[in-house]
Structure 1
Amino acid sequence: MEKETVLIIDDEKEIRDLLEIYLKNEGYHVIKASDGLEALEILQNHTVHLIILDVMMPRMDGIEACMKIRQEQNMPIIMLSAKAQDMDKIMGLTSGADDYMTKPFNPLELIARVKSQLRRYMKLNARIPQKENELEIDDLVINVATHEVTVGGKDVKLTPTEFSILELLARNRGIVFSVERIYERVWNDPFYNSENTVVVHIRKIREKIEENPRKPRFIKTVWGVGYKIET
């Protein structure tokens, strides 16, 4: 029995075919695209639960494709790139990706990340008893059943990873979470040189839910320690 559907977007046929083999061995249904434009067409006609997205592609690169996908959809996106500099990772995460891996990569590590992202995504979209549906902090409302967030009654679109970070802090109001602890709780991976990953996601959340991200009402920075949402 096949599991969720994974869309692989990469202009290198060898990589598409290699990842397809590993993903199908895990029971996933696989769809492949060679660039961003082809991927956008596929997304109009297929239900996709996770995307593996290369950065450097013809016609439409991964950064532009990611931003366009995020205008409409919130499934996890794992970005692949030969560029390993911090600024390249930050650009990828800022465009809406949930995770970032540099080429060459270990296919088994990528599959582990796919499983981790899908577990969180499917859990967020599973039915939850009504009494546990909503977390409220002033005019910020987080519906953990429908994956919807509103501030002052206005809808806010968060990626699955952004939502998981916000939910973690909202469920544990008053508790300070270090960058390392956030990463290990949300990504379900050991923390290793991943501080920028968390910081970028926190910044993106603030830009979406805070009226003034430089003076946040909700996610507070505890300097030298981490982040919290106050009670």
Structure 2
Amino acid sequence: MPRTILIADDDPHIRQLLVFALAKAGLDTVEVEDGEAALAAAETHLPDLIVLDINMPRMDGIEVCRRLRSQSDVPILFLSSRDDEIDRVLGIELGADDYVTKPFSPREVVARVMAILRRVASCPPAVTHAAGSLRHGCLALDAEGWQASWSGQPVSLTVTEFSILRTLATMPSKVFSRDVIIDRLHGPGFAITDRTIDSHIRNLRGKFARLGANDVIETRAGIGYRLGACGAG
């Protein structure tokens, strides 16, 4: 089936260029002109990837990325101006997959989109080796149902967040480096940064903290992360 790309940019000329270029590559497109419309379109059309401009009216791309990452692992490619370096870095930390700087070649955008789609297709979440349930203190993970709970209360996690937590829970005493976590999620050589893992860890901690759980994941400075006591004392 054709894959759908959501293009969110307030410049109609840029949207037109990308629609044309992506269509030539055999991809379907949906286009919107502001951040709020991008969130609505992502929920309605369930795109395979989102091309997201940083500077948009009604809601900027950084906030759109933040909200998407709270509930979805849809790949995100940022479009940014040359003076948006800080926002660009923040976007990557929030979990964006790549970025292209304006002005850009439509061919470059298509190449990056196709590369991300290939990575996603070749690295589906691994579930066969972690069937069943994992429990540690107040934390329970249903690996087959992709469900997490804390003292019986469900916690809504994205696929990546659940996969990170499951990785830590399989060996609660082990400290996992960021590189090892990336390898467990996507396989060796997957091109994401340590900061992306840090961002997912922050999101995980924030979701559990809202339930009063502040000891889910421990940081070992200079090494990585391991599962915390999880209320077990």
Question: Does TM, normalized by the shorter one, top 0.5?
Answer: yes
Q: Is the 8 A contact 1:79 1:92 kept in 2?
A: no
For the residue of structure 1 that corresponds to 2:85, the secondary structure is coil
Aligned length: 218
Question: How far apart are the structure 2 equivalents of 1:44 and 1:193?
Answer: 25
Q: Within 5 A, what are the aligned runs for 1:74-85?
A: 74-80=72-78, 81-82=80-81, 83-85=84-86
Q: Is the 8 A contact 1:76 1:117 kept in 2?
A: no
Question: How far apart are the structure 1 equivalents of 2:150 and 2:228?
Answer: 16
Distance 1:169 1:101, change over 3 A: farther
1:99 aligned to 2:97? yes
- What amino acid maps onto 1:59 in structure 2? R
Q: Is the 8 A contact 2:125 2:186 kept in 1?
A: no
Question: How far apart are the structure 2 equivalents of 1:21 and 1:133?
Answer: 46
Q: Deviations over 1:174-227 (max 9, x none)?
A: 3322122323443557477923222222122122224354xx2x3222332211
Larger radius of gyration: 2
Q: Which residue matches 2:197?
A: 198
Q: TM-score, normalised by structure 1?
A: 0.71
Unaligned runs of 5+ in 1: none
Distance 1:47 1:118, change over 3 A: same
Q: Is the 8 A contact 1:140 1:152 kept in 2?
A: yes
For the residue of structure 1 that corresponds to 2:165, the secondary structure is helix
| Aligned-residue identity in percent | 31
Q: Which residue matches 1:109?
A: 112
Q: Which runs of 4+ in 1 moved over 6 A?
A: none
- What amino acid maps onto 1:84 in structure 2? E
Question: How far apart are the structure 2 equivalents of 1:59 and 1:159?
Answer: 25
Question: How far apart are the structure 1 equivalents of 2:22 and 2:171?
Answer: 35
Distance 1:119 1:12, change over 3 A: farther
RMSD over aligned CA atoms reads: 3.6
Q: TM-score, normalised by structure 2?
A: 0.70
Unaligned runs of 5+ in 2: none
